[in-house]
C-alpha cells in the first residue's frame, strides 16, 4: 500500500547519524530518497548504515569537484526536500546553501541538522555526538560518582525525529499555500526535548526535585531484581493491577511492611525471571525480563509486531533491523528495500534530471502563520509520551484541548493534591493547551466529549490497548461520528503481536529492549538517568504519524488510525547497535565504567571538572603537537587513553577545551542540566523559558527546538491548571446553558 509521502522526492546529503536517519524516516513513509554519497562511501563506517540508508537510491558525487557540485545543485533544485547535516557554512561554500536554493526554488523544503546552530557561539566546533551531548548535560549522573558514557547517539536521533516532524509539517503548509521554507533542527537544540521535566525549576521552591523519589515500603518493589536463574527483571508499581501480582506472588500480607526490602529480594530470588514475567502478564501488571538487544531482536513480540524485521542486505545478508516507528493504518509505508551500494542508481538518477517534472500547482491560499492553524486536537493522554505528542502539535499551531479525568491531577502529582504541587510532568508537557476535566464514565462526561468531537480533527490517547474502547471513545466509535478523524494511539508495545495488550512505562521499554542491559554492562541493568528517552521520543513519533495523516487527509479527505509505541522508539534510538547479522560481535561501549569509544572519543577528568574530547585518528598528530601532550606520539588504544587522562588531569577543563579546539578537534566541558537551562544563549533562543504560572509563580521549562523560517513554532501558553478552561470550552461548544447540570452531575469538573 502507498505511504503518506509517496511522490515526495528527497535529496539526502547527510552523514553520520542525524541526516541519514531523518531521511530514512521519510523513506519509510514512501518518499523517494536520493542518497548522495561521497567518494569512498559513508564517512561513518558502520553496519548501521544499512538501516539508515534502506529504501533509498544512491549516487556518488565529489562535492570538491565543480562538475559534481553542479549535478548536486540540479538534484536539489528538482527535489521537494533537501536534508543535510554539515557544519554551518559548509553548504553555502559549496553553492548548496539553504537561502540560495530556496530562493531558486520557492517550493523547496531545506532541512539542516548541524551539531550547533549557525548563531550558536559553538557553531564552528566539530560536533561529534559526545561533544554535543556533553554540552547538553547528557552524561551527568547524581551523586559523587563520575559521569557515564552512553553509546546511544541520542542527540542525533532526537534531531532526526524533530526534523522528520518538521519536514512533514512544512509539507502540510506547502500544500495549503504552495511555498517551501528553511528548517533547522540542530542536535544540541533538539536535545532540549529530552531534558524535559529535568530542566524545570520552580523559582519559589528551587529545590523541588523534578521527579520526587519513591519513598516508603513501595520503594523496595520498584526497579531491578535478581531472580533464581541469576537474571534480572524490572518491576513497576504504576499500574492498578500491581497488587494483584503481589498477592499472586504470596506477598499480599507483608508487602507494605517498613522492613520489606530483604523479603522482596528473597521473593524474587525464588523464581526465574521468565516465571515472574509470565505471572505479571497473567495478572495484567508491569514486569519484564531485562534483555539484551540481541535477545529482543529475536523475541516473539519484537518479530510479531514488526519492530524487528529481516531485510536481505546485499552486503550483510539477512539482517534484523528496527521496523517502522510511525504506523498508519491506511497509508502504512514500507521498507522499500535494502540500502543500495554507493552509486548504484547513477544512470537512472541522471536520466531523470533530463526529464522535467510536472509544474507544481499555483498557491491556493495566503501564506500561513502556523502550520496547524485551524486544526483542533483532543488530547486524552497522561504522563509523558502522549501529552508530548499533543504539545508538539500545539507548538505547530493546533488548538489542543487537554481532557483530564478527575483522578489524574493527584496521580500525576505523585498522589498529592494537585493544588499542593505544581507537577513537573503537567507543567512540562501540557503547555500550549487548554484544559477541561471530564469523567468519561458518566453520561454527562460522554455528552461533552462527543460535543467536542463534532469539530475535532485529531484525537490522541495513550491508554493501554483496549481500555479506551471500553470507555466508548475508541477509534471505531469516533470514526462512526467523524469519518475523517485522525486518531492517534500511543502505548508501550504497539498494537500488533503477543504483547499488544500489556501495560508499560519508560522503564519497561528500556529494560526489555536492551537499553538497560547495555547501560548496566556485565552487572545489574541500569536505566538511562538523563531523561525519559522513549517517552519523549515516542511523543515526537506520535506527532510525526499525525502529521503524515494530516498530509494524506489534505490530499484525499480521508482520516485514519495511526499509532506508535515506546518499544518501537527504543529500537530506533538504538539503531546504531540494534541489528543482527551473521558473525555479529556485540562490542559497543557498555556499563557504568564506560567513558567513550576510544582515546579520541572519550570523557576525561580535568583538574576541576570533566570534558569530552572528540577527534579523528588523523588529527592525532595535531594533538600531540600541543606542548603539554608531548610524548603521546606513537601511542594508541589504552596506552594513549591513560596518557591523555594523566595529562588532562593536571589543568582546568576550560584550558584543555581551548587547546583542543585550537588543534581542530572537538571538545566541550561536561555541563549540568541547570547550567544548560541557565545558559544565556539558550534563554535568548527560547530553548529555556521562564514564565509566570498561575498559582505557582515563575517556573523554568524547556521551549520548542525546531526552527521553521515561514511557519515558526511557538511554546504556547504556560500549562494551565487542571480544568482552568472549562467554562470557555463549554461556551465555545454551545454548552454554556448546561453548565450547572454538567457540574452537578460530576461529569464535568472545574479547576482543581
In this structure, the number of other CB atoms found within 10 A of the CB of residue 330 comes to: 15
Identify the residue whose cell numbers are 467554562.
727
The domains spanning 217-297 and 596-674 adopt the same CATH topology: yes
- Determine the pLDDT at residue 141: 73
Task: Give the DSSP letter of residue 606.
Answer: -
Model confidence band, residue 752 (pLDDT cutoffs 50, 70, 90): low
Report, as an integer, the average pLDDT of 59-77: 97
% residues pLDDT > 70 (the chain)? 95
- Determine the pLDDT at residue 369: 84
Q: What is the spatial distance between Cα 498 and Cα 512, in angstroms, rounded to a whole number?
A: 14
Pairing label, strands 376-379, 610-614: unpaired
Least-confidence region, from 52-66, 208-222, 400-414? 400-414
Report, as an integer, the average pLDDT of 533-553: 98
What angle (nearest 5°) sits at the alpha carbon of residue 233, between those of residues 228 and 236? 135
Q: What is the spatial distance between Cα 396 and Cα 389, in angstroms, rounded to a whole number?
A: 11
For residue 357, report the phi and psi dihedrals to the nearest 5 degrees: -80, 155
Kindly report the CATH class assigned to 596-674: alpha beta
Cβ-contact 612, 600 below 8 angstroms: no
> Residue 136: pLDDT above 50?
yes
Burial of residue 714 (CB within 10 Å: 0-12, 13-18, 19+) is: middle
Q: What is the spatial distance between Cα 602 and Cα 620, in angstroms, rounded to a whole number?
A: 14
- Determine the pLDDT at residue 732: 96
Least-confidence region, from 363-372, 484-493, 612-621? 363-372
Q: What is the spatial distance between Cα 67 and Cα 57, in angstroms, rounded to a whole number?
A: 20
Question: pLDDT for 19-57, tens place per residue?
Answer: 999 999 999 999 999 999 999 999 999 999 999 999 999
Question: pLDDT for 172-220, tens place per residue?
Answer: 999 999 999 999 999 999 999 999 999 999 898 877 776 677 778 788 9
Model confidence band, residue 529 (pLDDT cutoffs 50, 70, 90): confident
> Residue 326: pLDDT above 70?
yes
Model confidence band, residue 418 (pLDDT cutoffs 50, 70, 90): very low
- Residues near 278 by beta carbon (within 8 Å), at least 6 away in sequence: none
Cell numbers standing for residue 592: 557504568
Cβ-contact 541, 599 below 8 angstroms: no
> First and final CA of the chain: distance in angstroms?
47
Cβ-contact 71, 599 below 8 angstroms: no
- Determine the pLDDT at residue 221: 94
For residue 18, report the phi and psi dihedrals to the nearest 5 degrees: -60, -55
Report, as an integer, the average pLDDT of 515-520: 96
Tell which residue, 236, 26, 156, 182, has the closest CA to residue 537: 156
> Residue 361: pLDDT above 70?
no
Please list the helix, strand and coil fractions of the chain in percent, rounded to the nearest 5, in that order: 40, 15, 45
Element (H, E) at 386: helix 385-395
- Does residue 547 sit in helix, strand or coil? helix
Task: Give the DSSP letter of residue 524.
Answer: S
- Determine the pLDDT at residue 240: 84
Sheet holding 286-289, edge to edge: 223-226, 232-236, 286-289
- Determine the pLDDT at residue 424: 63
Q: What is the spatial distance between Cα 559 and Cα 551, in angstroms, rounded to a whole number?
A: 10
DSSP 307-338: SEEEEEETTTEEEEEE--SSEESSSB----SS
Model confidence band, residue 412 (pLDDT cutoffs 50, 70, 90): very low
Longest pairwise C-alpha distance within the chain: 83
Question: pLDDT for 695-738, tens place per residue?
Answer: 889 999 999 999 999 999 999 999 998 899 999 999 999 999 99
Element (H, E) at 688: strand 688-693
Cβ-contact 166, 83 below 8 angstroms: no
- Residues near 379 by beta carbon (within 8 Å), at least 6 away in sequence: 386, 387, 389, 390, 400, 401, 402, 403, 433, 460
Cell numbers standing for residue 257: 511492611
Tell which residue, 66, 63, 75, has the closest CA to residue 34: 75
- Determine the pLDDT at residue 635: 92
Tell which residue, 535, 402, 406, has the closest CA to residue 460: 402
Tell which residue, 577, 516, 592, has the closest CA to residue 288: 516
For residue 437, report the phi and psi dihedrals to the nearest 5 degrees: -110, 120
Cβ-contact 199, 192 below 8 angstroms: yes
> Residue 410: pLDDT above 50?
no
Model confidence band, residue 413 (pLDDT cutoffs 50, 70, 90): very low
Pairing label, strands 223-226, 458-461: unpaired
DSSP 520-531: HTTSS----SSS
What angle (nearest 5°) sits at the alpha carbon of residue 712, between those of residues 709 and 716? 170
What residue ranges do the domains of the chain occupy?
217-297, 596-674
> Residue 417: pLDDT above 90?
no
- Residues near 96 by beta carbon (within 8 Å), at least 6 away in sequence: 13, 63, 69, 72, 73, 76, 82, 84
- Determine the pLDDT at residue 464: 83
> Residue 388: pLDDT above 90?
yes
Task: Give the DSSP letter of residue 582.
Answer: T
Cβ-contact 459, 380 below 8 angstroms: yes
Model confidence band, residue 350 (pLDDT cutoffs 50, 70, 90): very high
Question: pLDDT for 619-677, tens place per residue?
Answer: 999 999 999 999 898 899 999 999 999 999 999 999 999 999 999 999 999 999 999 99
- Does residue 147 sit in helix, strand or coil? coil
Tell which residue, 662, 668, 676, 652, has the closest CA to residue 602: 668
Report, as an integer, the average pLDDT of 138-145: 76
- Determine the pLDDT at residue 123: 97
In this structure, the number of other CB atoms found within 10 A of the CB of residue 388 comes to: 29
Model confidence band, residue 594 (pLDDT cutoffs 50, 70, 90): very high
What CATH number labels 217-297?
Answer: 3.30.1540.10
Instruction: Name the pTM for this structure.
Output: 0.96
Cell numbers standing for residue 436: 477541561
What angle (nearest 5°) sits at the alpha carbon of residue 485, between those of residues 462 and 4? 90
Tell which residue, 28, 198, 31, has the closest CA to residue 109: 31
- Determine the pLDDT at residue 358: 67
In this structure, the number of other CB atoms found within 10 A of the CB of residue 613 comes to: 25
Average pLDDT in the chain: 93
- Does residue 33 sit in helix, strand or coil? strand
Question: pLDDT for 144-179, tens place per residue?
Answer: 678 999 999 999 999 999 999 999 999 999 999 999
CA distances 720 to 8, 403, 438, Å, are: 39, 12, 15
Q: What is the spatial distance between Cα 407 and Cα 15, in angstroms, rounded to a whole number?
A: 47
Task: Give the DSSP letter of residue 71.
Answer: H
- Determine the pLDDT at residue 533: 95
Question: pLDDT for 430-447, tens place per residue?
Answer: 999 999 999 999 999 999
Which residues are 601's β-sheet partners?
598, 614
For residue 627, report the phi and psi dihedrals to the nearest 5 degrees: -50, -40
Amino acid at each position: 500500500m502507498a505511504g503518506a509521502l509517496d511522490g515526495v522526492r528527497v535529496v539526502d546529503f547527510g552523514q553520520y547519524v542525524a541526516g541519514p536517519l531523518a531521511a530514512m524516516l521519510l523513506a519509510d513513509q514512501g518518499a523517494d530518497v536520493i542518497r548522495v554519497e561521497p567518494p569512498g562511501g559513508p564517512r561513518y563506517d558502520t553496519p548501521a548504515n544499512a538501516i539508515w540508508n534502506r529504501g533509498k537510491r544512491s549516487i556518488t558525487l565529489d562535492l570538491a569537484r565543480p562538475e559534481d557540485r553542479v549535478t548536486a545543485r540540479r538534484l536539489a533544485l528538482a527535489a521537494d526536500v533537501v536534508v543535510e547535516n554539515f557544519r554551518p557554512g559548509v553548504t553555502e561554500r559549496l553553492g548548496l546553501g539553504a537561502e540560495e536554493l530556496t530562493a531558486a526554488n520557492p517550493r523547496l523544503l531545506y532541512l539542516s541538522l548541524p551539531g550547533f546552530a549557525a548563531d550558536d557561539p559553538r557553531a564552528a566546533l566539530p560536533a561529534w555526538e559526545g561533544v554535543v551531548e556533553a554540552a547538553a548535560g547528557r552524561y551527568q549522573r547524581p551523586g559523587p560518582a563520575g559521569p557515564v558514557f552512553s553509546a546511544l547517539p541520542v542527540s542525533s536521533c532526537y534531531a532526526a525525529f524533530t526534523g522528520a516532524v518538521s519536514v512533514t509539517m512544512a509539507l502540510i503548509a506547502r500544500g495549503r499555500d504552495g511555498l517551501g521554507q528553511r528548517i533547522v533542527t540542530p542536535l544540541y537544540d533538539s536535545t532540549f526535548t529530552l531534558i524535559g521535566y529535568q530542566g524545570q525549576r520552580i523559582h519559589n521552591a528551587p529545590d523541588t526535585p523534578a521527579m520526587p523519589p519513591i519513598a516508603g515500603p513501595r520503594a523496595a518493589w520498584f526497579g531491578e531484581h535478581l531472580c533464581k536463574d541469576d537474571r534480572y527483571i524490572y518491576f513497576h508499581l504504576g499500574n492498578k493491577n500491581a497488587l494483584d501480582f503481589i498477592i499472586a506472588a504470596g506477598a499480599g500480607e507483608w508487602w507494605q511492611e517498613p522492613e520489606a526490602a530483604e523479603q522482596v529480594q528473597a521473593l524474587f530470588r525464588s523464581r526465574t525471571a521468565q516465571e515472574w514475567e509470565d505471572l505479571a502478564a497473567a495478572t495484567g501488571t508491569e514486569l519484564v525480563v531485562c534483555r539484551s538487544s540481541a535477545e529482543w531482536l529475536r523475541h516473539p513480540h519484537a518479530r510479531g509486531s514488526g519492530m524487528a524485521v529481516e531485510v536481505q542486505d546485499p552486503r550483510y545478508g539477512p539482517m534484523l533491523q528496527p521496523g517502522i516507528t510511525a504506523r498508519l493504518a491506511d497509508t502504512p509505508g514500507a521498507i522499500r528495500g535494502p540500502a543500495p551500494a554507493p552509486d548504484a542508481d547513477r544512470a537512472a538518477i541522471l536520466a531523470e534530471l533530463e526529464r522535467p517534472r510536472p509544474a507544481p500547482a499555483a498557491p491556493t491560499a495566503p501564506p500561513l502563520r502556523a502550520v496547524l492553524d485551524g486544526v483542533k486536537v483532543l488530547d486524552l493522554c497522561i504522563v509523558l509520551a502522549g501529552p508530548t505528542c499533543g504539545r508538539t502539535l500545539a507548538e505547530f499551531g493546533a488548538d489542543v484541548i487537554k481532557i483530564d479525568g478527575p483522578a489524574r491531577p493527584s496521580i500525576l502529582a505523585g498522589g498529592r493534591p494537585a493544588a499542593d504541587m505544581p507537577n513537573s510532568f503537567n507543567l512540562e508537557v501540557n503547555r500550549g493547551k487548554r484544559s477541561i476535566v471530564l469523567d468519561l464514565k458518566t453520561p454527562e462526561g460522554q455528552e461533552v466529549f462527543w460535543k467536542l468531537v463534532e469539530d475535532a480533527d485529531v484525537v490522541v490517547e495513550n491508554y493501554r490497548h483496549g481500555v479506551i474502547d471500553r470507555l466508548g471513545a475508541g477509534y471505531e466509535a469516533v470514526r462512526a461520528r467523524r469519518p475523517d478523524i485522525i486518531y492517534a494511539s500511543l502505548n508501550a508495545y504497539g498494537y500488533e503481536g503477543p504483547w499488544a495488550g500489556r501495560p508499560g512505562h519508560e522503564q519497561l521499554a528500556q529494560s526489555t529492549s536492551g537499553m538497560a542491559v547495555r547501560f548496566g554492562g556485565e552487572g545489574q541493568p541500569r536505566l538511562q538517568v538523563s531523561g525519559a528517552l522513549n517517552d519523549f521520543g515516542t511523543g515526537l513519533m506520535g506527532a510525526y504519524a499525525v502529521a503524515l495523516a494530516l498530509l494524506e487527509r489534505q490530499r484525499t479527505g480521508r482520516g485514519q488510525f495511526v499509532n506508535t509505541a515506546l518499544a518501537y522508539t527504543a529500537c530506533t534510538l538504538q539503531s546504531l547497535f540494534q541489528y543482527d547479522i551473521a558473525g555479529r560481535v556485540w562490542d559497543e561501549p557498555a556499563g557504568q565504567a564506560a567513558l567513550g569509544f576510544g582515546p579520541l572519543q572519550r570523557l576525561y577528568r580535568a583538574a576541576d571538572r570533566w570534558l569530552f574530547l572528540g577527534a579523528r585518528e588523523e588529527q592525532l598528530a595535531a594533538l600531540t603537537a600541543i606542548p603539554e601532550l608531548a610524548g603521546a606520539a606513537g601511542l594508541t588504544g589504552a596506552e594513549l587513553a591513560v596518557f591523555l587522562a594523566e595529562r588532562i588531569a593536571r589543568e582546568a577543563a576550560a584550558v584543555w577545551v581551548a587547546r583542543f579546539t585550537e588543534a581542530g578537534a572537538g571538545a566541550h566541558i561536561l555541563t549540568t542540566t541547570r547550567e544548560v537551562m541557565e545558559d544565556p544563549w539558550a534563554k535568548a533562543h527560547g530553548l529555556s523559558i521562564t514564565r509566570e504560572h498561575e498559582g505557582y509563580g515563575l517556573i523554568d521549562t524547556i521551549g520548542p527546538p525546531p526552527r521553521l523560517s515561514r511557519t515558526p513554532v511557538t511554546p504556547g501558553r504556560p500549562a494551565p491548571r487542571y480544568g482552568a478552561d472549562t467554562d470557555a470550552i463549554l461556551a465555545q461548544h454551545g454548552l454554556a446553558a448546561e453548565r450547572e447540570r454538567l457540574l452537578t452531575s460530576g461529569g464535568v469538573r472545574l479547576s482543581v
